[in-house]
């Protein structure tokens, strides 16, 4: 292969679409940086991205993406733009992922025949093992068969239909958008694809181990909501739920108690272990042969990590978080929103900050717990330190206890554009117009302060 280094020739290559001929059972893997875009069009055959089929002759635009387009029977793709990385892979785990989907379908059919809940599936594995991609694939395959799975995101480092820092649960009854990933929520504006209605809780910290006294109760609240939905919604009951998790709980036995908690609270009966022989062995010893609260056997299954999974460096992850926050307020390039700014007096706001237990002290205590009562939240005065931060508005009253605040779902988010200490005023950016509700707000350390969204 001849590599050309002349910059003038490079610019011509960018303008000329490239045709990729994919053979049966192969996938085209690509990475696109933030600030650049790549357009992909399916010219012939069939192909899918994370389980969602691409429409023929429709142009899809990708920005800041690391993804793979798979074909079962072969296809031709037209690609315009420059990828950071691109190559075609002949070996993929898609057959095993597809077999997993059909195994779950068999469980769903048995659940319908016996009037039980469908499988509650937990996906665990180390960082960058492809857990979220697998959950997307299984969700897409389920919806393509007319199922309505409930998808739970327990990874606060990456939001699902919400900003990072959130834990969410969402019922999926329509296809997953190829370009947007999980799709759009009501705050994202009108969309050709039906919007999702996520239940959102704000954790505000990057890892479960940062404050298990908040993380575990939030997981319990989500589990109660999912259980209630499964009882009330026949379609969701038949399908069950898919639970995505952070890699931190799979890296070291010190955090296995979080996995145990999630398995117990969600009555998980299928545990998919991705990309780690040691974790699979540990999970097998801990759960194989055990039963759920519904007296169902817990099955532990090992799946291979895709060769397309790559380590995402902190620069890429930070750009992804910034993009998610910007999208929440301003929408995407093809669907812009009109957020509203307003001046608010310090005295009009009640802001709490999430308490972060001293990790050094905690590590020295038996079980990793700090002695004595550590408050979950502390009241804070508005200050310049809040500039460019996001505040979560809770479904709670101003006088509610700390436990109620912890368990309250999120009404929405606002962005602190400016803080004027002299005038004691904040300039707030909200996704919709109108006065801020008289509700408590919570400031976390995650995500970190965003770039200046308002000039």
Q: Are residues 19 and 65 in the same domain?
A: yes
Count the domains in the chain: 3
Over residues 413-455, the pLDDT tens digits come to: 999 999 999 999 999 999 888 889 999 999 999 999 977 888 6
Residues 83 and 98 grouped into a single domain: no
- By mean pLDDT, which of 179-193, 280-294, 356-370 is the weakest? 356-370
pLDDT (0 to 100) of residue 210: 92
Neighbours of 438 (CB within 10 A): 10
Predicted local distance difference test score (pLDDT) of residue 294: 85
- Any alpha helices (H) in 182-232, and if so which ranges? 212-232
At 309 the pLDDT is: 86
Helix, coil or strand: residue 337: coil
191 and 62 belong to one structural domain: no
Residue in the block written with tokens 């519904």: 294
Is 27 known as a binding-site position?
yes
- Which residue is listed with tokens 């048995």? 110
pLDDT, greater one: 312 or 267: 267
Q: Is 333 inside a domain boundary?
A: no
- Same domain? For 203 and 344 the reply is no
**pLDDT at residue 332 is higher than 90:** no
Domain-embedded: residue 278 = yes
Same domain, 110 and 194: yes
Q: Is 312 inside a domain boundary?
A: no
How far apart are the C-alpha atoms of 213 and 128, rounded to whole Å?
Answer: 26
Q: Does any domain span residue 233?
A: yes
Does one domain contain both 39 and 104?
A: no
Q: Record the tokens describing residue 425, joined without a space.
A: 């005023």
* CATH number of domain containing 253: 3.40.50.300
Please tell me the distance from the alpha carbon of residue 134 to that of residue 121, in angstroms, as a whole number.
Answer: 11
So what's the pLDDT on residue 6? 40
Give the pLDDT confidence score for residue 386 in this predicted structure: 94
Same domain, 185 and 296: yes
Indicate whether 392 belongs to any domain.
Answer: yes
Q: What is the pLDDT of residues 282-291, one digit of tens each?
A: 999 999 889 9
Does the residue 353 lie in any domain?
A: yes
pLDDT interval class at 397 (50, 70, 90): very high
Same domain, 293 and 254: yes
Percent of the chain with pLDDT strictly greater than 90: 76
- Local confidence band at 182 (pLDDT 50, 70, 90 cut-offs): confident
The residue from 260, 285, 303 where one domain ends is 303
| CA separation, residue 370 to residues 31, 373, 375 (Å) | 43, 8, 11
Q: Which of 89, 107, 127 is the last residue of a domain?
A: 89
Q: How far apart are CA 59 and CA 69, in angstroms?
A: 14
Q: Is residue 21 part of a domain?
A: yes
Q: Is 132 annotated as a binding residue?
A: yes
Residue 379 in marked binding region: no
**Are 61 and 109 in a shared domain?**
no
Q: Taking Cα atoms as reference points, which of 181, 291, 195 lies closest to residue 244?
A: 181
CATH label of the domain that carries residue 74? 2.60.120.1030
Q: Which of 71, 89, 107 is a domain's end point?
A: 89
The answer to the question of whether 59 is labelled as a binding residue is no
pLDDT, averaged across the chain: 89
Residue 133 marked ligand-binding: yes
> Do residues 260 and 122 both lie within one domain?
yes
Between 180 and 329, whose confidence is greater?
A: 329
User: Is residue 3 pLDDT above 70, yes or no?
Assistant: no
Q: Give me the CATH number covering residue 400.
A: 2.40.30.330
Rounded average pLDDT over 100-112? 97
Task: Answer yes or no: pTM beyond 0.95.
Answer: no
Is 44's pLDDT higher than 60? yes
* 61 assigned to a ligand binding site: no
Mean pLDDT of 15-32: 94
Please tell me whether residues 111 and 82 are part of one structural domain. Answer: no
For residue 368, is pLDDT > 70?
no
Q: Which domain holds residue 279?
A: 94-303
Percentage of the chain with pLDDT > 70? Answer: 89
Given the DSSP bridges, would you call strands 120-124 and 166-171 parallel, antiparallel or unpaired? unpaired
319 part of a folded domain:
no
Same domain, 279 and 402: no
């Amino acid at each position: 292969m001849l590599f050309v280094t002349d910059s003038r020739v490079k610019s011509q290559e960018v303008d000329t679409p490239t045709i990729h001929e994919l053979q049966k059972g192969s996938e085209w893997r690509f990475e696109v940086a933030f600030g650049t875009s790549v357009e992909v069009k399916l010219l012939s055959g069939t192909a899918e991205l994370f389980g969602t089929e691409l429409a023929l002759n429709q142009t899809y635009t990708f920005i800041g993406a690391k993804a793979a387009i798979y074909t079962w029977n072969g296809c031709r793709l037209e690609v315009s733009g420059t990828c950071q990385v691109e190559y075609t892979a002949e070996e993929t785990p898609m057959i095993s992922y597809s077999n997993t989907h059909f195994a779950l379908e068999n469980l769903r059919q048995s659940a319908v025949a016996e009037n039980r809940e469908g499988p509650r599936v937990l996906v665990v594995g180390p960082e960058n093992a492809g857990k979220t991609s697998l959950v997307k694939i299984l969700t897409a395959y389920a919806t393509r068969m007319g199922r309505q799975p409930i998808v739970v995101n327990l990874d606060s480092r990456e939001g699902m239909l919400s900003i990072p820092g959130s834990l969410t649960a969402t019922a999926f009854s329509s296809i997953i958008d190829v370009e947007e990933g999980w799709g759009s929520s009501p705050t994202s504006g009108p969309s050709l694809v039906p919007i999702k209605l996520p239940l959102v809780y704000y954790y505000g910290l990057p890892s479960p181990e940062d404050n298990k006294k908040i993380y575990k109760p939030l997981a319990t609240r989500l589990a109660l909501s999912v259980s209630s939905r499964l009882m009330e919604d026949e379609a969701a009951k038949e399908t069950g739920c898919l639970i995505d998790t952070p890699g931190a709980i799979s890296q070291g036995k010190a955090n296995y108690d979080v996995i145990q908690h999630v398995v117990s609270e969600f009555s998980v009966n299928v545990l998919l272990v991705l990309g780690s022989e040691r974790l699979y062995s540990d999970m097998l010893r801990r759960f194989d042969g055990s039963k759920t609260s519904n007296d169902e056997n817990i099955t532990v299954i090992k799946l291979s990590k895709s060769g397309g999974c790559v380590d995402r460096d902190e620069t890429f992850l930070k750009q992804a978080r910034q993009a998610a926050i910007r999208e929440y307020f301003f929408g995407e390039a093809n669907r812009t929103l009109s957020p509203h700014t307003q001046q608010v007096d310090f005295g009009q706001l009640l802001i709490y900050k999430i308490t972060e237990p001293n990790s050094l002290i905690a590590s020295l205590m038996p079980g990793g717990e700090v002695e004595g009562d550590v408050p979950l939240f502390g009241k804070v005065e508005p200050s310049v330190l809040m500039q460019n931060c996001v505040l979560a508005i809770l479904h709670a009253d101003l006088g509610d206890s700390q436990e109620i605040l912890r368990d309250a779902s999120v009404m929405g988010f606002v962005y602190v554009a400016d803080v004027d200490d002299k005038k004691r005023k904040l300039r707030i950016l909200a996704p919709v117009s109108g006065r801020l509700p008289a509700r408590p707000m919570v400031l976390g350390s995650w995500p970190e302060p965003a770039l200046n969204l308002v000039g």
